[in-house]
Structure 1
């Protein structure tokens, strides 16, 4: 069913709320995503008038966002549309209604309609049969094909089966309103093919030895729905829930809260309320869009995934379900992501000037049933969420952070600054424990948990160690005396911490014995010898 058949105007508009810790918790409990659209002590929410009235009864003070001309986000979007309802750069995925023509004049034999993204992607695959294999990985709620493209040398050769080489998945557009991300994913796809054809040695080496998979639009119904009048800020899929004609705020499931890992963990990281934008669905993996992504993750066994979102200018990685919770594989994430002073995705040019701050997923707020936590914990696929650039009203963007400007130069600038990180991840798939970083970062063999005071005798000491090093022995001295050794055991995790997320590193523990209060203890670990 085309998106236009459901378009009745969802009533969602952009509001801003001044926040503190209590306000953030309440907004999360009301089903608003607190991991995106935060700037300083303010957060943007997309809400209906009824939702805003409810928030005001709770003591919150949402204020509608308006630009310098006094236009709300929806009014701005209607203004920047071309006469035929299309846009200069942005195009729908499958429904051609708002694809438009090159000059926005009526379609004719001499002025043909522009391609949808699906048409563009299938044509690209047909023109590059030696490198690109199209795979329909599933269908949406409304039956729209969800297309993945496998890019590797001899992509369609029967002996070169899917998943037989180290693999990376670049996915995008789980959230319908985040228009910058399908543009980035499709540009990365074109870049890889074009650079391979042009003889780029690094890209040639990657494509010859690695599978790069692209899912440009993971939520096709929702994305096409945002091109229909009054629905630019729609986020979810088009699951009919409330039983009323047309798609309304009480419909839809958030595809990025529907995965089985920690699904329904709490009501802050996702919501049980269908009108909320983080509604988790009726059950884990209930949505066909989720099933398509999950099936691909399961079938291929990716080393890495990069799951593009917007808009917060962050580079997030697991875990997101619980604050201050790091995977054992965190050294790999840190090496490839960089840090606040030297981030892997740095600003480039006036159209997209800001770097993406790298953080563990729950640094800002928790999420559960989320893609990257699921990929790492269930399938051993290390995964990132680049939260891409916010809109710049002074450059033609909307007042909502999700209305990134309909500008070819600015979209290209946002894409280009993402290239170094994307290629680092691709090249690192051959040996994930020892990644390749354009920042020059390496991964340590050991990370030992230091302690300034003992908890008594015996004292447990923990180290995070590369699995490839083999068996680990702990050594220690007490007050400078003779060296003693202790075997170690892998720590399987406790009630809240540890557990999954230990693909390339594992946490091991040894025991110091024979100490007294005031003793000085030196501990170190060795492996492989």
Structure 2
């Protein structure tokens, strides 16, 4: 029997032990070559217990995790495939070994220590939601004259959608906005650390009088939100590592969650770029902006858009893409698309020169797949952001770990993105 992620999650939620951690111990993951007939492959898998690891089936392959009791039966099918994980559960366990974080805002520290930026050892491992909040508080404490922590609003379960706002010469709220989101898809853990590394580097450069960084910070107001889906992220750490959506129930279905990156109020009603089935991973909701998270983020976007939005980036994983609008139509582009593509190519070239990682650039719909109600489309089509990008981070494919990027690649990924970001600022 096929188990999509949504069905598996729903079953876990409606059982007696509703919040028991979903185990992937012994699940073996494969990338199956599909050719031009992906449906035929799905039909052959229909009697097996498996989890689809991709939301949108690629044109030439389909990635699945097979339950341990069905591995032999899967292999007996003789499908052309390659193993991408021998044991997902073991990989999840290794990834979830979090290093302790000692806040620099701790009242027991002396004044000098308490004003210091967090150590870069933060990026040696992944962290809990609570520690991420401490990290942002410490960034603020180290740059207290030029920064503030803000709460844009609340998630469905009442968690703060928080971020940091910082600025340079001239005071706050006086310059065009640079606006970053991360972790709208809960299982994409690498997104928040990359955004945090950007904030760390910008603040550190300003504090140490780096002329290049000072010029950048003096030119913009920066707004960084590390978790635009905090409920989903917490759920990946407590219950189901592969959860994607928010945690909002719908009265019409036993399935939980909406894909907040299909819920923004721009071209939401179009078909083909999202699902109307509440059990699907890209479920769009019942109406545009009908999740509390997107209502919050729409309102917050309006509140900071007094001097225009120069740059918006929504960080995701995985695939190594730098994508420009639009997702809703493969034949429609922003007026400055040629400039955006030129800058994106410069960023990709710099990343490759720095680390050897190849990032693909292009308009979202034609380069990857169609999406409706996405954040970059809204930021470009409604908020008027000059640059509105999605960046899909490492790895390049499921064979590199997919959503489970090893902790030892956090800093590598962050550093190559930082090189790209400096190139981006120089080009715009």
**Matched residue of 2:63: which SS?**
strand
Alpha-carbon separation, structure 2, partners of 1:271 and 1:209: 40
Alpha-carbon separation, structure 1, partners of 2:36 and 2:331: 16
The runs of 5 or more residues in structure 2 that have no matched partner are 1-12, 43-51, 102-122
Alpha-carbon separation, structure 2, partners of 1:195 and 1:76: 35
**Matched residue of 1:212: which SS?**
strand
CA RMSD of aligned residues (A): 3.8
Query: TM-score of the superposition, structure 2-length normalised?
Result: 0.75
Query: TM-score of the superposition, structure 1-length normalised?
Result: 0.62
Alignment of 1:477-516 (within 5 A): none
Alignment of 1:276-315 (within 5 A): 276-301=280-305, 302-315=309-322
Deviation readout 1:73-122 (Å, 9 max, x if unpaired): 2342135544999996101223xxxxxxxxxxxxxxxxxxxxx1012112
- Determine the structure 1 residue equivalent to 2:258: 253
- Do the aligned partners of 1:252 and 1:274 also contact (CA within 8 Å) in 2? yes
- Do the aligned partners of 1:356 and 1:386 also contact (CA within 8 Å) in 2? no
Alpha-carbon separation, structure 2, partners of 1:242 and 1:17: 36
Q: Which moved more, 1:315-324 or 1:7-16?
A: 7-16
Residues 80 and 385 of structure 1: CA distance in aligned 2, closer, same or farther (over 3 Å): closer
- Determine the structure 1 residue equivalent to 2:335: 328
Alpha-carbon separation, structure 2, partners of 1:194 and 1:25: 54
- Do the aligned partners of 2:325 and 2:334 also contact (CA within 8 Å) in 1? yes
The counterpart of 2:244, out of the listed 235, 247, 255, is 235
- Determine the structure 2 residue equivalent to 1:128: 143
Alignment of 1:60-71 (within 5 A): 67=85, 70-71=86-87
Q: Which moved more, 1:413-422 or 1:235-244?
A: 235-244
- Do the aligned partners of 2:34 and 2:41 also contact (CA within 8 Å) in 1? no
Deviation readout 1:149-193 (Å, 9 max, x if unpaired): 1110269x6xx4x3x311111211111111111110111111111
Q: Report the count of equivalent residues.
A: 368
Alpha-carbon separation, structure 2, partners of 1:187 and 1:125: 14
- Determine the structure 2 residue equivalent to 1:369: 373
- Determine the structure 2 residue equivalent to 1:211: 221
Residues 79 and 420 of structure 1: CA distance in aligned 2, closer, same or farther (over 3 Å): closer
- Determine the structure 2 residue equivalent to 1:8: 20
Alignment of 1:21-60 (within 5 A): 23=38, 33-34=55-56, 41-44=60-63
The counterpart of 2:127, out of the listed 91, 108, 113, is 91
Residues 88 and 168 of structure 1: CA distance in aligned 2, closer, same or farther (over 3 Å): closer
1:356 and 2:339 matched: no
The alpha carbon displacement at 1:202 in A equals 1.3
Deviation readout 1:404-429 (Å, 9 max, x if unpaired): 0021xx211111111233234445xx
- Determine the structure 2 residue equivalent to 1:405: 406
Alpha-carbon separation, structure 1, partners of 2:275 and 2:317: 20
- Determine the structure 2 residue equivalent to 1:142: 157
Larger radius of gyration: 1
Residues 125 and 6 of structure 1: CA distance in aligned 2, closer, same or farther (over 3 Å): farther
- Determine the structure 1 residue equivalent to 2:349: 343
**Matched residue of 2:233: which SS?**
helix
- Determine the structure 2 residue equivalent to 1:273: 277
1:18 and 2:33 matched: yes
**Matched residue of 1:203: which SS?**
helix
Deviation readout 1:440-483 (Å, 9 max, x if unpaired): xxxxxxxxxxxxxxxxxxxxxxxxxxxxxxxxxxxxxxxxxxxx
Residues 270 and 392 of structure 1: CA distance in aligned 2, closer, same or farther (over 3 Å): closer
Deviation readout 1:206-226 (Å, 9 max, x if unpaired): 212311111111111111111
- Do the aligned partners of 1:298 and 1:379 also contact (CA within 8 Å) in 2? yes
- Do the aligned partners of 1:32 and 1:278 also contact (CA within 8 Å) in 2? no
Alignment of 1:143-162 (within 5 A): 143-153=158-168, 160=172, 162=173
Deviation readout 1:44-94 (Å, 9 max, x if unpaired): 368999xx9xxx9xxxx8989653xx31x2342135544999996101223
- Do the aligned partners of 2:320 and 2:360 also contact (CA within 8 Å) in 1? yes
Residues 294 and 154 of structure 1: CA distance in aligned 2, closer, same or farther (over 3 Å): same
Residues 264 and 48 of structure 1: CA distance in aligned 2, closer, same or farther (over 3 Å): farther
Residues 399 and 373 of structure 1: CA distance in aligned 2, closer, same or farther (over 3 Å): same
Residues 80 and 205 of structure 1: CA distance in aligned 2, closer, same or farther (over 3 Å): closer
- Do the aligned partners of 2:166 and 2:221 also contact (CA within 8 Å) in 1? yes
